[in-house]
Chain A
Amino acid sequence: MTRRVLWMLRDSWVEAERHLRIIPRNIELLIFAAIQPIMFLVLFVYVFGGSIVIPGFDDYDQFLMPGIFAQTLVFGSAFTGIGLADDLQKGLVDRLRSLPMSRSAVIIGRTVSDLVRNLFTFAVMIAVALAIGFRFTGGAWNAVVATVLLVLFSYALSWVQAIIGLSVTSVEAANSAGFIWMFPLTFVSSAFVDPSTMPGWLRTVADANPFTLVTDAARALYNGNPVGNDAWWSLAWSVGLIAVFSALATRKFSRSTSG
């Protein structure tokens, strides 16, 4: 049993290393991955910044930017599905499944390396946010906790994306299927506006959306506002999603073949 766990960790590392090695060889991709969220940040702040007033926030930027951080991290999870679809299409999944390696390692390695890449994007975005006036008014410790909550939620969604990537037959389909639900997930939430301004049914959806919960928790922590149980709930959501979807994704992987 411990031997199996050890193997799983080793195989996961070999797999993660494959992806991590490639990152510095594709600086272009990394730069473009960082440009998009920066663009979002700047556009939202300067286009909407002046016109939206959120009760309880003197400054819309302090409300908005944590929402964009959350959205960016969640969008980043789509890389997992796209990468796996690519491996599947290229026949690499067949090869890996014919090796005497741990079944879950391929997706663990992939999600972990995607996480590293998302952290890089996140760091660049934070730097830009600070440059245009964002402040961690809740202090460093709270900011770290907030970031961990966001990153963990994004990591959980990358397991959902893994299933999508292994279910579709092309990289293009993985791209569409991976992003399409991210828009309602992140917009019908508290990320950009207060849900109480939404029409009734939409508001119900926004309130029930776990992304709202995670965003609220992170926002409260970044701004030093009372966070209540939101932090625990968002932790519970992430852990729950990881538990369920890692089992499902590994099962899916064990049955996937190309063509």
Chain B
Amino acid sequence: MPTTPAVEMRGVVKRFGETLALDGVNLSVPTGAVYGLLGPNGAGKTTSVRVLTTLLTPDAGEARIDGIDVVADPHAVRRRIGLTGQYAAVEERLTARENLDYVGRLFHLPRSQVRQRASDLLERFDLADAADRVVKGFSGGMRRRLDIAMSLIAEPSVLFLDEPTTGLDPRSRLGMWDVIAELAADGTTVLLTTQYLEEADRLAEQIVVIDHGRVIAEGTPEQLKARIGGALLSVRIARPENRDRALGALTPLCTGPVDVSPDDVAFSAPIIAGDGVVPGVIRALDDVGVDVLDVEVRKPSLDDVFLALTGHTASSEEES
């Protein structure tokens, strides 16, 4: 018997006027897992989270939390989830403790339990010293931590984190990663969205790549990297007029299409890593009379995965 997934989307479609924000998204997150929803701007990450957290009604398809349909019984879904939206949703004019108290009471938890839990969370998220200060003066990292603490006040079984580190400085980002890793270790089911490949790689055990409202790939970080052949070859040649000859020599050695830079001197392509790859490449180019400046074989980053899957890098896409 397969167990009920904590988060499930089946063929979810969401349209905003002309824009097809979600074009049949399928997703299944088992209980206790940390999944990363990875995609560039406008991919449909926030829209997916909003459907799952009952903020938007899907135009077609189904979404369930712990087997409960988000459209049929939104109230029951809301009791089980915690949402940390893309922008820190805190009441700036209250203190950190008052913010926690406020949300806890809206969950209809007993007053004493809210108080205890708020103190624990403030401690855990390193906000104890700032607990009774008005949030207005908080740094971005502190707000974000408070924001997550607020989503955890009722001990949700599923936590949604929409771009939890966007806009944070590198130090706060590292702090946030520790916080999320700790949550994961505690067994909370987490669905986090991110534009940072490094972040998904670091935090998520399973990555779902989304682009233009569709899931285009899914797997562990290792599996995704393996999809482009294990390694990545980059070559620089001396003269652009040798472009076609170099291309002809490299193509048979590689496991995928060879990408050529606009100035015709840099080439990159997936390749099987192994002994003798670099000398083999140099020899092949030498045989056709191409002067080589540089050859490098490296393990791919998730950026390379994204390029291979979508034809564009995750970060360079602004429009669409």
Contact = CB atoms under 8 A, between A and B. Distances in A.
Interface of A: 7, 10-11, 14-15, 18, 21-22, 25-26, 90-92, 94-101, 257-259
B103 A257 contact: no
Contacts of A91: 85-89
Contacts of B55: 94, 97-98, 257
B105 interface: yes
B106 A11 contact: yes
B75 interface: yes
Given A7-B108, A21-B98, A100-B75, A90 B89 contact: yes
A99 B94 contact: no
A22 B93 contact: yes
A71 B100 CA distance: 38
A91 B134 CA distance: 18
Number of contact residues on B: which range applies? 20 to 34
Contact of A94 (B85, B90, B103): B85
B38 interface: no
Among A11, A18, A21, A257, chain B packs the most CB atoms within 10 A around the CB of: A18
Contacts of B91: 18, 92
Contacts of B92: 90
Nearest to B104: A14
25 contacts: A7-B108, A11-B106, A14-B105, A14-B106, A15-B106, A18-B94, A25-B134, A26-B93, A91-B89, A94-B50, A94-B55, A94-B83, A94-B85, A95-B85, A95-B150, A96-B106, A97-B54, A98-B54, A98-B78, A100-B75, A100-B78, A100-B107, A257-B50, A257-B55, A259-B46
B134 A94 contact: no
A95 B154 CA distance: 13
A25 B132 CA distance: 14
Closest 5 CB pairs of A and B: A91-B89, A95-B89, A100-B78, A98-B83, A91-B87
B165 interface: no
B168 to A, nearest CB: 16
Contacts of A100: 75, 78-79, 106-108
B89 A94 contact: yes
A26 B94 CA distance: 11
Contact of A98 (B81, B88, B108): B81
B284 to A, nearest CB: 52
Given A97-B54, A99-B78, A25 B93 contact: yes
A22 B94 contact: yes
B158 to A, nearest CB: 11
A107 to B, nearest CB: 14
B53 interface: yes
Contacts of A95: 83, 85, 89, 103, 150
B56 interface: yes
Interface in B69-83: 75, 78-79, 81, 83
Contacts of B78: 98-100
B89 A99 contact: no
Contacts of A22: 93-94
B105 to A, nearest CB: 5
A25 B54 CA distance: 34
A189 B281 CA distance: 87
Contacts of B79: 100
Given A21-B94, A99-B107, 10 more contacts: A14-B106, A90-B92, A92-B90, A94-B83, A95-B150, A98-B54, A98-B81, A100-B107, A100-B108, A259-B86
